[in-house]
């Protein structure tokens, strides 16, 4: 087995037994990046010198017996997280040359845990998209089928994990941007409960929806990464003060005796039959492991798409107002132009089409005379969606469903139809609106050989249950063990 084919757990064992050094491991992944990037285009920035220095420090820690679960483990970072002295673009021309003076809390915690950062990964501009085609620096490609999208907005992070050009990566999920690309790329993607992982230093899209989480090949690996990232952060006022449990111990629980809900509204019209088939087969596997299942209803699901596309653009309109050409990032200053001209020139040249579309939608929804009719009403319906889940979790321990209505579609197929692109996230949006934890894990393949994911949703701060269900499923199946033929 090549080093880039290892799981996080296997790499951890080799490092701990000193059968491979952290520097050798980092070099193997840097070589893998060089070999796969011309096809996959998952990275925007690769940092070999810095990675090897971090790996040398990890080797010293290992020799001194000071290692942790992530010491020496090579990873990638979605380019929406601020990284000290390393370009952070958010996939946008407006931040093309922005170099933060600090690390986001999630990044700082990974570094403190000993992880080796290989570079920054491609994404839809400001995390607005479902295919990574909105990146100002060009799309990433799906390692399973280079003609297909990897999903979005964390497409580079999912694609690199699937391609074996990192052992894990971290992304963000505002409406499905971890779970959907994880499903399309055949890896595990975990969106924690809102507030479980600090948002400090994470460039904001929609502040009441954004949440950071890991991509990994296995649920066990994702649990280790979440363990390092999670916990209260005084720098983030929305960060939860609740203690972080031992996620590794949660993996041992199994599913015997658990009651799983299957929402009838999540088997939508237009869903590919192979997606529904893979989900139904996965449910049978969980039943065989001792879980019981019951059909449930989440009646306000049909409004989630409309609610999301009022709340998220409204919040993005507010958050992106800071990119004005004055404080940081791109500044387009023409001679004898006034301040308003500078604002207009900077933003029109710096923002891509999708970002402009959402800023305009959000500004309209927040404007005088329309706020109550749109943003206010969307907030009320959001509460109803959250109450649907709270009622369901009175009856069941977790919910299982498809992640997306289809497997990955071809690059360019929906680029000219924003509504069809928005529908890609119809099964993931509600989880963000309710602030719940959700995870995608591999559950099958389409006839074209493109991965299909199973979604597991838990009550607030019940990541332990989500991880236990996912790990039990992976112990009984081998979907996650398959690799794309790159």
Q: How far apart are CA 206 and CA 341, in angstroms?
A: 27
Instruction: For residue range 123-161, list pLDDT tens digits in order.
Output: 999 999 999 999 999 999 999 999 999 999 999 999 999
Q: What one-character DSSP code corresponds to residue 265?
A: G
70 found inside a domain: yes
Q: For the range 386-394, what are the long-range contacts, defined as Cβ-Cβ under 8 Å and sequence gap of 24 or more?
A: 386/433, 386/434, 386/435, 388/297, 388/298, 388/299, 388/300, 388/301, 389/298, 389/430, 389/434, 389/436, 389/457, 389/459, 392/261, 392/263, 392/296, 392/298, 393/459
Instruction: For residue range 15-56, list pLDDT tens digits in order.
Output: 999 999 999 999 999 999 999 999 999 999 999 999 999 999
486 found inside a domain: no
| Alpha helices, DSSP H, located in 186-262 | 219-229, 247-250
Q: Are residues 171 and 206 in the same domain?
A: yes
Residue whose tokens read 């509460």: 383
Prediction pTM value: 0.96
Q: Are residues 445 and 313 in the same domain?
A: no
Q: At what angle do helices 463-476 and 219-229 cross, to 10 degrees?
A: 160
Q: Are residues 217 and 77 in the same domain?
A: yes
Instruction: For residue range 170-189, list pLDDT tens digits in order.
Output: 999 999 999 999 999 999 99
Q: How far apart are CA 167 and CA 261, in angstroms?
A: 32
- Last residue in a domain, options 327, 351, 380: 380
The stretch 458-484 carries a mean pLDDT of: 98
269 found inside a domain: no
130 found inside a domain: yes
146 found inside a domain: yes
Q: Which residues are catalytic?
A: 78, 153, 177
223 found inside a domain: yes
Is residue 333 very low, low, confident or very high in pLDDT (cuts 50, 70, 90)? confident
Tell me what pLDDT residue 270 has.
84
206 found inside a domain: yes
Q: How far apart are CA 363 and CA 357, in angstroms?
A: 10
237 found inside a domain: yes
List the domain range (segments joined by +) for residue 314. 302-380
* Token representation of residue 154: 């964390």
Tell me what pLDDT residue 335 has.
67
Q: Are residues 227 and 331 in the same domain?
A: no
How many domains does the chain divide into? 2
- Last residue in a domain, options 380, 414, 435: 380
Q: Are residues 369 and 426 in the same domain?
A: no
Q: Are residues 329 and 406 in the same domain?
A: no
Q: Are residues 27 and 96 in the same domain?
A: yes
Tell me what pLDDT residue 336 has.
65
Instruction: Identify which of 425, 352, 418, 403 has the alpha carbon closest to the alpha carbon of residue 152.
Output: 425
Residue whose tokens read 């701990």: 16
Q: Are residues 333 and 256 in the same domain?
A: no
The CA distances from residue 424 to 151, 179, 217, 226, in Å, are 9, 11, 23, 26
């Amino acid at each position: 087995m090549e080093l880039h084919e290892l799981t996080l757990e296997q790499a951890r064992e080799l490092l701990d037994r000193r059968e491979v050094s952290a520097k050798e491991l980092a070099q193997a992944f840097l070589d893998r990046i060089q070999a796969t990037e011309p096809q996959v285009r998952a990275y925007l920035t690769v940092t070999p010198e810095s990675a090897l220095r971090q790996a040398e420090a990890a080797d010293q820690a290992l020799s001194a017996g000071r290692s942790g679960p992530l010491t020496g483990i090579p990873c990638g970072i979605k380019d929406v997280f601020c990284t000290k002295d390393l370009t952070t673009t958010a996939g946008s021309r407006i931040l093309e040359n922005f170099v933060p003076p600090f690390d986001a809390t999630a990044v700082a915690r990974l570094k403190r845990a000993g992880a080796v950062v290989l570079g920054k990964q491609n994404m839809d501009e400001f995390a607005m998209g479902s295919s990574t085609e909105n990146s100002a620096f060009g799309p990433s490609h799906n390692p399973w089928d280079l003609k297909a999208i990897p999903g979005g907005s964390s497409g580079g992070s999912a694609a690199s994990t699937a391609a074996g050009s990192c052992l894990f990566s971290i992304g963000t999920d505002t409406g499905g941007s971890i779970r959907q690309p994880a499903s399309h790329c055949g890896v595990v993607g975990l969106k924690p409960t809102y507030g479980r992982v600090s948002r400090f230093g994470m460039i904001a899209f929609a502040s009441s929806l954004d949440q950071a989480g890991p991509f990994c090949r296995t649920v066990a690996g994702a649990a280790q990464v979440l363990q390092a990232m999670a916990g209260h952060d005084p720098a983030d006022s929305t960060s939860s003060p609740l203690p972080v449990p031992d996620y590794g111990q949660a993996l041992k629980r199994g599913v015997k005796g658990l009651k799983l809900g299957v929402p009838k509204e999540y088997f939508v019209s237009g869903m590919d039959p192979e997606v529904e088939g893979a989900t139904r087969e996965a449910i049978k596997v969980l039943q065989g492991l001792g879980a019981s299942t019951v059909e449930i209803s989440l009646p306000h699901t049909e409004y989630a798409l409309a609610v999301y596309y009022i709340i998220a653009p409204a919040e993005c309109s507010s958050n992106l107002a800071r990119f004005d050409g004055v404080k940081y990032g791109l500044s387009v200053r023409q001679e004898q132009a006034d301040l308003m001209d500078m604002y207009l020139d900077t933003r029109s040249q710096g923002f891509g089409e999708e970002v402009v579309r959402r800023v305009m939608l959000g500004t309209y929804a927040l404007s005088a005379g329309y706020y109550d009719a749109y943003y206010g009403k969307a907030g009320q319906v959001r509460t109803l969606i959250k109450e649907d889940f709270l009622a369901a979790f009175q009856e069941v321990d977790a919910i299982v469903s498809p992640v997306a209505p289809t497997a990955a579609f071809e690059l360019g197929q929906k680029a000219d139809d924003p509504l069809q692109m928005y529908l890609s996230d119809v099964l993931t949006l509600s989880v963000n609106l309710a602030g719940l934890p959700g995870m995608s894990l591999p559950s099958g393949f389409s006839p074209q050989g493109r991965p299909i994911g199973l979604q597991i949703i838990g009550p607030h701060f019940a990541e332990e249950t989500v991880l236990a269900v996912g790990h039990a499923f992976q112990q009984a199946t081998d979907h996650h063990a398959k690799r794309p033929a790159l």
